[in-house]
Structure 1
Amino acid sequence: MFIRSRSFTPLISPKRSNFSLSKFGLFSTFASSAEKLMTHLQKNESKVEKSLDRVKIKLNTACINEVLQRCSVDKPQMGLRFFIWAGLQPKYRHSAYMYGQACKLLEIKQKPHIISDVIEAYRMENCAVSVKMFKVLLYLCREAKDANLGLRVLRKMKEFNCRPDTTAYNVVIAMFCEKREVDEAMKLMEEMGLIDLYPDMMTYVAVLKGLSDIGRLEDACRLVKAMKGHGCVPNAVVYSILLDGICRFGSLERAMEMLGEMEKESGNSKPNLVTYTAVVQRFCEMGQSMDALRILDQMREFGCKPNKTTMSVLIKGLCVEGRIEEAYKVIDKVAGESVSYDECYSSLVLSLLQIGKLEEAEKVFRMILVQGLRPDGAASSTVLRQLCLVGRWLDAFRLCEGIENSGNVSIDADIYSILLAGLCQEKNLVVAAKLAKLMVERGVQLQAPYVDDVVKHLKNSDEEELVSKISRISS
């Protein structure tokens, strides 16, 4: 039972030289590949894809990036067609990073007409266009966060006899939901059914999140029922999205009911640690920490144990509302089960400091040390920093000693320097010498901004030995 008390060269050889040349050749490979691709592009600007198909080059991110950079200045349309072609090659696939680079280099967000121009060029040249090519364009629209452009691209697919698939619709639907234009997204979802396509889990999740984000909870609940009717079983992600909306725009009672319904479900539909923690956090953010305690109780009754994050969120919520005694009570009730006392009380210290209660935080911190517990690095560093900020240098040093004695606790390196400088300014050189010795033992460097000031004070006090120690730990 835990009882709290509050009161580092070899000689140069021909072999090494050959290695260096080989290495240089490796670095030049990307540039030579890009040069070869650019040559084909510039010679055949109107038949880009057929020309590129004759080039036998292994594509990679560096090579594609180089080509895009060269095209971006005055041939962005050619650059875009190259990017689309590259995305269709069997041994290469664009990464999210590469879509971001293409969007930035070709300035698609600022010049969306480039995409329309490329589609028109395909039509004029009677190019063979595939669904995959349109998907590359849609992903670029997503990167540019342009839902209307994405919708225009989707509509253009029919003109090339390309039938949009569920993935293509999902990209556009998600973009409209992110813009909070959920009605447009829902129209597209209904449209899918007219062309024998069916919404999948990604479709439902996007629209549900869109509805929940704007507080249309009844529509969101009806959509969950529709999912079940279409054979798409709601999982914990779906319910968590709905719960988040209920917590923000609904009531505790409805959230409790939803959790109860989830608890009766089977498999992936049951609430998990993430689900419960998200609900606890949302209620705390709304200033309803006492209601969040009821969620914690329901969570534990269901057999789901809270973790450090759950407890940190709850403790902070209680402290922010001034319910510090309740924070102590919840720690006494839960700590030692799935979360350690060290973690809980470290969270309490941080929470108290965040609301400006240094004295109470210091009492809790000293209690942790007396009880033989180990405060975490964040709590240790923060309480020491606060003591330094109010000029309590000796108290900060004594607490620092206690932390060091507790073992395996990492304190931010700059705090040692701040504390040493403060002790020197107060001319408490005996204690400063102890701290300097501790820093030497720990290999903690005295940071540059504090060196001159610390050395000046020590020299004025004829502390040459300590000055020597300081020079050993100066960065």
Structure 2
Amino acid sequence: MHLFHEITKKGGIQPNVITYSTMLQGLFKARRCEAACKLFNKMQAHNLIPDEITYTIVLEGLCNNNQVEKALSLFYLIGDNKLNSNIKVYNILIDGASKNGKFDIARNIFNDLTGKGLQPDVRTYTVMIKGVFREGVFGEAKEMFFEMEKRGCSPDDVTYRILLQGFLKNQQHDMVEMLLHEMEGKGFSLDASTVEMLLHYIKTSCLDASLLKLIGKLVPKEAVDAPCFTV
């Protein structure tokens, strides 16, 4: 902020869109949402037109600071431009709405994608599946998983980890075993928190101990000797 104000005081140098975008990103990350919004307004007052990157930073910053309504208002205020055809922007809004307890809004945005000619990507499905689990609608999570594969959108390792944790909590052990086998076939690995959950369910006899060998194959080599991998 000190350097930014120094620039504005020097007559020969003026902040540009990149300067403002960088500052906005920093302020939002520091949870200084109000200061970021004021700076965004100041940017426009100086006749600097935000570009796609700037708008993406602001929308994500608002969503991450529990300001989903403001993010949606800004998005619809922008109107018909490149943002409306950018799946990354929709992913930000879907994730933000879901995390802030507004899953109905997230679902509506997701359902409107096809009508806008947009194809959900792996990130879109992943944040939706996470939101569905958060709402406790486990059957819909399974349907969404099969739908994404049917549409040719392959799950990544993050998708699998979210699915595993969700199905573990819902005690859908057949899905857990199927997902573990799929991960092995695709060369994915498990993160520490998912391994810990799996081992907990094995220790409490909720999962068959025969899965230990399969789980071991999915643990990165450097993590095999970690304390959490001791049964």
What's the TM-score once normalised by structure 1's chain length?
Answer: 0.41
Give structure 1 stretches of 5+ with no counterpart: 1-75, 85-117, 348-375, 384-475
Whether 1:245 aligns to 2:93 is no
| Residue number among 172, 183, 198 corresponding to 1:291 in the alignment | 172
| Residue number among 69, 72, 90 corresponding to 1:183 in the alignment | 69
Conserved? CA contact 2:164–2:179, under 8 Å? no
Whether 1:328 aligns to 2:209 is yes
Map 1:51-450 onto structure 2 (within 5 A).
77=2, 79-81=3-5, 118=8, 128-193=14-79, 196-199=81-84, 200-266=86-152, 269-284=153-168, 286=169, 288=170, 290-297=171-178, 300=181, 309=190, 312=195, 315-319=198-202, 322-323=204-205, 326-331=207-212, 335=213, 339=214, 343=216, 376-378=224-226
SS of residue paired to 2:79 = helix
Question: Residues 163 and 191 (structure 1 numbering): CA distance in 2 closer, same or farther, change over 3 Å?
Answer: same
Alignment length (residue pairs): 223
CA distance in 1, matches of 2:200, 2:174: 10
Q: Percent identity at matched positions?
A: 21
SS of residue paired to 2:208 = helix
Question: Residues 297 and 139 (structure 1 numbering): CA distance in 2 closer, same or farther, change over 3 Å?
Answer: closer
SS of residue paired to 1:163 = coil
How far residue 258 of structure 1 moved from its aligned partner, in angstroms, is: 0.7
Give structure 2 stretches of 5+ with no counterpart: none
How far residue 244 of structure 1 moved from its aligned partner, in angstroms, is: 0.8
CA distance in 2, matches of 1:151, 1:80: 16
Question: Residues 380 and 148 (structure 1 numbering): CA distance in 2 closer, same or farther, change over 3 Å?
Answer: closer
Conserved? CA contact 2:68–2:97, under 8 Å? yes
Question: Residues 295 and 215 (structure 1 numbering): CA distance in 2 closer, same or farther, change over 3 Å?
Answer: farther
Cα deviations by residue, 1:404-423 (Å, 9 ceiling, x for unpaired)? xxxxxxxxxxxxxxxxxxxx
Residue 23 of structure 1: aligned partner: none
CA distance in 1, matches of 2:21, 2:56: 11
Cα deviations by residue, 1:374-409 (Å, 9 ceiling, x for unpaired)? xx42369968xxxxxxxxxxxxxxxxxxxxxxxxxx
Indicate the RMSD between aligned Cα atoms, in angstroms. Answer: 3.5
CA distance in 2, matches of 1:142, 1:247: 27
Q: Which amino acid aligns with 1:323?
A: S
Q: Which amino acid aligns with 2:123?
A: V
Question: Residues 240 and 158 (structure 1 numbering): CA distance in 2 closer, same or farther, change over 3 Å?
Answer: same
How far residue 140 of structure 1 moved from its aligned partner, in angstroms, is: 3.0
Cα deviations by residue, 1:445-474 (Å, 9 ceiling, x for unpaired)? xxxxxxxxxxxxxxxxxxxxxxxxxxxxxx
Question: Residues 308 and 215 (structure 1 numbering): CA distance in 2 closer, same or farther, change over 3 Å?
Answer: same
CA distance in 2, matches of 1:176, 1:276: 28
Higher relative contact order (CA 8 A, sep 6+): 2
Larger radius of gyration: 1
Question: Residues 307 and 181 (structure 1 numbering): CA distance in 2 closer, same or farther, change over 3 Å?
Answer: same
